[in-house]
Structure 1
Amino acid sequence: MFHVKQSSSTSTAGYGVDTPLARELADLTARRRALESVTVGFDGPTRVFTISNQKGGVGKTTTAVNIGAAMADLGAKVLVIDLDPQGNASTALGVPHTADLRSIYDVLISDVPLADVVQESPESPNLLCAPSTIHLAGAEIELVSQVAREHRLRTALNDYLAAHPADVVIIDCPPSLGLLTINAFTAATEVMIPIQCEYYALEGLSQLLGNIRMIQKHLNPDLTMSTILLTMFDGRTRLAQQVAEEVRGHFPHEVLDTVIPRSVRVSEAPSFGQTVIAYDGQSVGAVAYREAAVEIARRASENEKGH
C-alpha cells in the first residue's frame, strides 16, 4: 500500500554546533533536508483511521488535520471527516461549515450522499473535508431512532469510496463514546490515539481499549489499534521523558518513534484557518507531523512486506 524511499540522512557536521540552540537548529535543518528526499507511493485499499481519545485536550483534532495535510503533501488523496460537533477540524482545513450548509449531519440523519457534502480544502486539491456543523450536536439523540444507527457512516463512506477513491480517510471524533464515535469506529479499519506527554496521560486509556474490543466483537472485527502518537512533548522535562517511556513500555509496537513537540506554530495555525503544514511548513511542529506521516507510511510498507 505504502512504498517509502529515503536517501541516507543528512549529516549535521559543519554547522558549528557548540550551543544547545545551535544543535537544535542544525538538527531541524537536517530533518527538513531528510524529508525533502522522501518519496511515498500509495496504492492498495484505502486506510481509514479514526482519531480517538476520550480524554480532552490531547491534540486529537490537531493530529487529525495535520496528519491529513502531511499525507496530502506526500501525494495521497486524503478525506478528513469532521465528526465533532465543535467543527474544529473543518475550521483548521479552511472549509466553510455554517449552519445553512449541508454537512456530515445530513449524511448521518437524512441519507444525503457523502459526495454532496465533501469540500476541497484551500490547502491542496488532495485534501478534502466532510465538514461538521452545529446541527451535529443533536445527532446523538436523533441517531437512536435510525435504522442501522451504528453503521450509517460506514455505509455512506463505502458508497463514496466506490465512486471517489481515496488513499487515506481520517475521522475526527468527539471526546466521548456516543453514537457518533461508535459510527467512526464501525467505519474505520484503524484507530490512532494521540497521547499527551503530561500527568494522567494513560488515564482513561484502558476504558478506550475496552471500547475498541467491544466494537471489534460486536460491530467491526477488522478494527485495529495501529498507531499511538505522543503529543505536546517537551524534551526538556523529566516528566515528558517518563511518560514517553511508560507509554512505550505498554505499547512497544504501536507508539511511533516520532513525537510531536509543544509548538506555538501548531497552536496558532487553526486561528488562520490552516494546518501547521500550510501555515509554517518549516517549523518544528510541521516537520514533526510530516515525519509522523512518513513513519505511518513506512510502517505500513514494512508490514506488507512482512506478510
Structure 2
Amino acid sequence: MFLTKQTKVIAICNQKGGVGKTTTALNFGVGLANEGKKVLLIDCDPQGDLTTALGWRNTDELSVTLADKLVEYIEERNKNPTNGILHHKENIDLLPANLDLSALELSLVNTMSRETVLKGYVNSIKTAYDYVVIDCMPSLSVLTVNALVAADSVIIPVQSQFLAAKGMTQLVKTISKVKRQINPSLKIDGILLTLVDGRTNLSKSTKEAIVNDYGKYLKIFDTQIPMGIKAAETAISGKSIFAYDKNSKVAKAYVDFTKEVLKLERKEKNRLQSEQAR
C-alpha cells in the first residue's frame, strides 16, 4: 500500500441540511483523486447519503460500517482497521455509514474521551492516504464534534441564500470552541458558496453579506458551485459529476475548487518551509 508522510484530514461541515455538503465531499474527493491523490472518504452521517450517492443503496446490508470501526476502537479491538473500507471505481475509498451510527452516537455519551474516538480511528488508517475527507451530519452533534477533533481543517459549504448564511454563526462558534479546548491545530480552510444561481440578485446579495460578515477573518473561496440539475442526478447514478457529465458547469466548478484548495495548500507549505529555514 502506498504510504505518505503527511495526510490532511478535512471535514466538510455545516449543521444546516441541503447546502450541497455531501455533493461537495464526493466531488471534491474524486477531484483530488483525479489530481493523483490517494483519497479516503468517510461518511459520518447516519443517513448514509454519501454511501448511497456512491452507489451502495442498501446501506443496512453493509457488513462493516463506520459504526463498527468506532466500536472496535472503543473496545480496543482495532486489529484490522482497514477491514470494511470500500473501493469505488473512480479511484477513491469509502468508509460507509448507516443508521447504526445513530445508535452509536447515543452510546458515545458514556464513553471516555468521547470526542476523540473518530480521531483515534482515523490516525490508525490515515497514513495510507494523502487526504481523508469526512462528510459530517447536518447537526452540531457529538459525531460532528468528533469529526472536527479528527480534522486538520474544515471546509464550510454554504447555500447561496440568506437563511443558510445566517446559520453559520453557531457553526463558527463550535469550530472555535473545539480549536480552543481540544484541537488547537484546527483551522477553517474557507467558505464555499454552493447552489449559486448567478441570474438572481439573492445570490449576489448573499455573497456580499457573507463577505461583509466573515470575509475579514475567513477565506471565501473564489470558486462558486452553480446550481445544476446534473449535480442532483449524480446521487441516483452512483457517480461523481465528473463521470456523469464531465462537461457540465458543475463539473468545471469542482475541478476549479479542487485546484484552488491544492494551490492554497502549496502556498501554506512553502510559507512554513520558509519560516523553518530562517
Does TM, normalized by the shorter one, top 0.5? Answer: yes
Cα offset for 1:305?
A: 2.3
Aligned amino acid, residue 57 of structure 1? G
Hey, what's the Cα distance between the residues in 2 that align with 1:159 and 1:173? 20
Hey, what's the Cα distance between the residues in 1 that align with 2:164 and 2:45? 22
Hey, what's the Cα distance between the residues in 2 that align with 1:62 and 1:130? 16
Work out which of the residue numbers 117, 121, 132 in structure 1 matches 2:88: 121
- Aligned residue for 2:69? 107
Deviations 1:104-160 (A, max 9, x none): 001112324431121111222xx1100002211212111112232111111111111
Equivalent runs, 1:1-307 vs 2, <5 Å: 45-95=6-56, 97-111=59-73, 112=78, 113-124=80-91, 127-162=92-127, 165-249=128-212, 250-251=214-215, 253-307=218-272
Q: Provide the secondary structure at the position in 1 that maps to 2:162.
A: coil
Hey, what's the Cα distance between the residues in 1 that align with 2:219 and 2:129? 24
Which consecutive unaligned segments of at least 5 residues does structure 1 have? Answer: 1-42
Q: Do 1:83 and 1:180's aligned partners in 2 also have CA atoms closer than 8 Å? A: yes
Q: Do 1:150 and 1:183's aligned partners in 2 also have CA atoms closer than 8 Å? A: yes
Q: Provide the secondary structure at the position in 1 that maps to 2:155.
A: strand
Aligned amino acid, residue 156 of structure 2? I
Change beyond 3 A, Cα 1:306–1:100? closer
TM-score calculated relative to the size of structure 2: 0.89
Aligned amino acid, residue 276 of structure 1? I
Hey, what's the Cα distance between the residues in 2 that align with 1:222 and 1:196? 27
Deviations 1:24-59 (A, max 9, x none): xxxxxxxxxxxxxxxxxxx76211111111111111
Deviations 1:174-232 (A, max 9, x none): 11111111110110000100011112132221111111111112111111011211000
Q: Provide the secondary structure at the position in 1 that maps to 2:185.
A: coil
Cα offset for 1:100?
A: 4.4
Aligned amino acid, residue 178 of structure 2? I
Which consecutive unaligned segments of at least 5 residues does structure 2 have? Answer: 273-278
Aligned amino acid, residue 104 of structure 1? L
Q: Do 1:94 and 1:122's aligned partners in 2 also have CA atoms closer than 8 Å? A: no
Hey, what's the Cα distance between the residues in 2 that align with 1:87 and 1:172? 10
Q: Which moved more, 1:185-194 or 1:279-288?
A: 279-288
Hey, what's the Cα distance between the residues in 2 that align with 1:232 and 1:260? 6
Q: Which moved more, 1:90-99 or 1:146-155?
A: 90-99
Q: Provide the secondary structure at the position in 1 that maps to 2:14.
A: coil
> How many equivalent residue pairs?
261
Q: Provide the secondary structure at the position in 1 that maps to 2:198.
A: coil
Cα offset for 1:95?
A: 4.0
Q: Provide the secondary structure at the position in 2 that maps to 1:200.
A: helix
Aligned amino acid, residue 290 of structure 1? V
The structure in which a higher percent of residues are helix is: 2
Change beyond 3 A, Cα 1:46–1:100? closer
Deviations 1:61-97 (A, max 9, x none): 1111110011111111111000001111112222463
Cα offset for 1:161?
A: 2.2
Hey, what's the Cα distance between the residues in 1 that align with 2:72 and 2:112? 11
Q: Do 1:193 and 1:229's aligned partners in 2 also have CA atoms closer than 8 Å? A: yes
Instruction: Calculate the aligned-residue CA RMSD, in Å.
Output: 1.6
Aligned amino acid, residue 94 of structure 2? C
Q: Provide the secondary structure at the position in 2 that maps to 1:115.
A: coil
Aligned amino acid, residue 215 of structure 2? F
